[in-house]
Amino acid sequence: MLRRLVLCCVLLCSSVAAFALTPQQALAIASGDSDERIAALNEAAASAADGLGPFVQALLDDSVKVAGDKVFIVQGDKAVDAATGAAATVPDDAEDVVNNNRVRGALQAAMGALQLLSPDIEARRAGVAELLKQQLDEAQLPLLEKAFEAESDAALKASLERMRATILVSSSDKAKRLAAITALAGSGQGAVASLLQERLAPDAETDPEVRASLGRALDSVRDRLAWGERIGVVFTGASLGSILLLAALGLAITYGLMGVINMAHGELLMIGAYATYVVQNVFRNNLPGLFDYYILAAVPLSFLASALVGAAMERSVIRWLYGRPLETLLATWGISLVLMQGVRTLFGAQNVPVENPAWLSGGVSLMSNLTLPFNRIAIIAFAVLVLAGVALLIARTRLGLFVRGVTQNRRMAACVGVNTARVDTYAFALGSGLAGLAGCALSQVGNVGPDLGQSYIVDSFLVVVLGGVGQLAGTVYAALGLGVLNKLLEGVAGAVLAKIMVLVFIVIFIQKRPQGIFAMKGRSAEA
């Protein structure tokens, strides 16, 4: 609709002098066989004739009629001469111009090519993007070279050079083919690799020197693509590791401090995700202008919601079960079922939608096959901030001192006046709140539903056990290591076998080093 409105404005407002497209060019583009029309179109595009853009758009919109040697652009009840732009009356015997797929592709390529000469950089980018979708030929070289000479943006200039080389790689001139292959060798695009592979076919290229150059260029392009894939795997693994770190960090505190096997930890994570969902809806309904900032309010509220539930769990159930691991496991498993059913009752059994803010949508493209999503980058940064905050709290605050004292020797800490019961509650609330933060982060990359926590509870325990009970540094190493290892193995063995191989690795590691990566420091009276 926008295109049609723009075309209508052009038809109504353009003066006769603005049309430099000749009647002969308009007729040749609109009538005749496909080869003749495409040749005439490319010739007009190479000269960048004024008035060609609206005419090509009219052809794409099927708004052109031909009567004899006259061509008309028709929009509603108005018509103009395609060459002069003057108002005209369409004869009754005028025929519609019909475009087959080949001609329509050439028209779209011509529109993209014409945009290359626009003073607006966004229009030029759109033109380059359109041309990259089309099958280019040597007829479009003059316009590409003209655009290349005039282009000032380095990225667009490089794209134009690659397009020019893509055309010349099939030229009949051997020197041009070799020069084009040399230019394409510096590319890192999968489409260029496919093009070079096609040119290596025996029936496509027979010259031994050119074939050798094609082989070297293909190896160079594939090397760049391989690096993009490697970096992508490492980034994905680091992203998964950050999620595991957020999910396991709270568990490392509660399990390390109190030895509580909290099977409801995943549901505390789920509560944080649903708190984010509620905050999102509040902003959408009451503060739509600030919707993109709802996540800033969701972070502390998700922490608070999970921390309060965790504190209630500790004071009502878990405090009576210290030193009884089997009963604690069964009790927390029962609590997890209650929490899941409660969420199903309040929000339904289906997943609920949580949208990314605009500034977390999209990603940064580093290579043709490597795009880093903003939400994943944000989660990695968020995990670093949370880890730094927890480390400062444990190392620099009075609560942290009490937590470390109770962790190393509960009885001695009680003897010197530490209220260990209160420290237990605070620590459990802190660990639960960290699970809520993990849920808030997970809501930005996955589905939010009642079963969300079940996907991470086992992995969280594996991270804690592998890193060393009560050791934050070990939790970091284990989470990131398992994340990257899992993604590396997925590329080799698939997702299911990768999980099995990771589990086997952890079992063997724990057999050899039961204390995990980092052993607990200090002496314990209970030992």
CATH of the domain at 251: 1.10.3470
pLDDT for 526 equals 44
When pLDDT is cut at 50, 70 and 90, the band that residue 270 belongs to is very high
∠ CA 446-248-410 to the nearest 5 degrees? 155
Q: What is the mean pLDDT of the chain?
A: 80
pLDDT tens across 45-85, in order? Answer: 766 666 777 888 888 888 888 888 888 888 877 888 877 77
Domain that holds residue 145: 2-177
Which whole number is the average pLDDT over 403-431? 83
pLDDT given at position 4: 45
Q: What is the pLDDT of residue 203?
A: 75
45 and 156 both lie in a single domain: yes
Same-domain check for residues 14 and 129 = yes
Average pLDDT on 134-161 reads: 72
* Closest-CA residue to 87 (of 105, 66, 73, 108): 73
In a shared domain, residues 357 and 494: yes
The average pLDDT across 127-144 equals 69
Task: Examine the domain organization and report whether 133 and 263 are in the same domain.
Answer: no
Q: Per mean pLDDT, which range of 324-328, 378-382, 434-438 is the poorest? A: 324-328
Burial of 168 (0-12, 13-18, 19+ CB in 10 A): buried
pLDDT for the residue 2: 42
Higher pLDDT, 388 or 256: 388
Q: What is the pLDDT of residue 233?
A: 84
Do 231 and 173 belong together in one domain?
no
Which pLDDT band, with edges at 50, 70 and 90, does 305 fall under?
very high
Q: Do 264 and 377 belong to one domain?
A: yes
**Tokens standing for 266?**
């995943």
Domains of the chain: total: 2
Q: Is residue 205 part of a domain?
A: no
Same domain, 253 and 173: no
Q: What is the pLDDT of residues 3-60, one digit of tens each?
A: 444 444 443 443 333 446 788 888 888 888 888 888 888 777 766 666 777 888 888 8
Cβ neighbourhood burial of 288 (10 Å; 0-12, 13-18, 19+): exposed
CB–CB of 469/256 below 8 Å? yes
pLDDT at position 15 is 36
Highest mean pLDDT among 254-268, 399-413, 436-450: 436-450
Long-range CB pairs of 379-384, under 8 A, 24+ apart, other chains included: 379/239, 379/242, 379/243, 379/246, 379/441, 379/444, 379/445, 380/238, 380/239, 380/242, 382/242, 382/246, 382/437, 382/441, 383/242, 383/243, 383/245, 383/246, 383/441, 384/242
269 and 172 within one domain: no
Domain ends where: 160, 177, 194?
177
Give me the pLDDT at residue 137, please.
Answer: 65
DSSP string, 149-190: HH---HHHHHHHHHHHHHHHTT-S-HHHHHHHHHHHTT---H
**What is the per-residue pLDDT for 207?**
82
DSSP letter assigned to residue 524: -
Residue 140, pLDDT score? 67
Q: Are the C-beta atoms of residues 189 and 221 closer than 8 Å to each other? A: yes
Task: Give the span between the Cα atoms of 481 and 281, in whole angstroms.
Answer: 36
How far apart are alpha carbons 5 and 79 in whole angstroms? 15
Same domain flag for 10 and 124: yes
Mean pLDDT on 343-355: 89
Q: Residue 136 is which amino acid?
A: L
Quick one: average pLDDT of 478-495? 79
Q: What angle do CA 206, 212, 213 make, to 5 degrees?
A: 105
**Same-domain pairing of 142 and 250:** no
Same domain, 277 and 146: no
pLDDT at 3: 46
Q: Which two tokens stand for residue 332?
A: 């927390």
- Both 410 and 486 in one domain: the answer is yes
Decide if 304 contacts 433 (C-beta within 8 A). Answer: yes
Structure-token pair, residue 293? 């900032």
Q: For residues 85 and 305, give the distance between their C-alpha atoms in angstroms, rounded to a whole number.
A: 67
* Mean pLDDT calculated for residue range 359-368: 80
Residues 6+ apart with CB under 8 A from 452: 266, 269, 270, 273, 439, 442, 446
3-state helix, strand, coil in the chain (%, to 5): 70, 5, 25
Question: Parallel, antiparallel, or unpaired for β 78-81 and 95-96?
Answer: unpaired
Quick one: pLDDT band at residue 491, thresholds 50, 70, 90? confident
Whether 166 and 136 have beta carbons less than 8 Å apart is answered as yes
Question: Once rounded to an integer, what is the mean pLDDT over residues 113-128?
Answer: 75
Among 177, 212, 246, the domain-final residue is: 177
Backbone angles phi, psi at 448, to 5 degrees: -110, 115
**Domain presence at residue 111:** yes
What's the pLDDT at 340? Answer: 92
Give the list of residues 6+ apart from residue 62 with CB closer than 8 angstroms, or none.
96, 97, 99
End-to-end CA distance of the chain: 77
Residue where a domain stops, chosen among 115, 145, 177: 177
* Residue 43 CB neighbours (<10 A): 15
The Cα 45–Cα 38 span in angstroms is: 10
Secondary structure, 3-state, 396-438: HCHHHHHHHHHHHCHHHHHHCCCCHHHHHHHHHHHHHHHHHHH
The reply to whether the predicted model has a pTM over 0.85 is no
What gap in Å lies between CA 402 and CA 425, rounded to an integer?
12
In a domain, 462, yes or no: yes
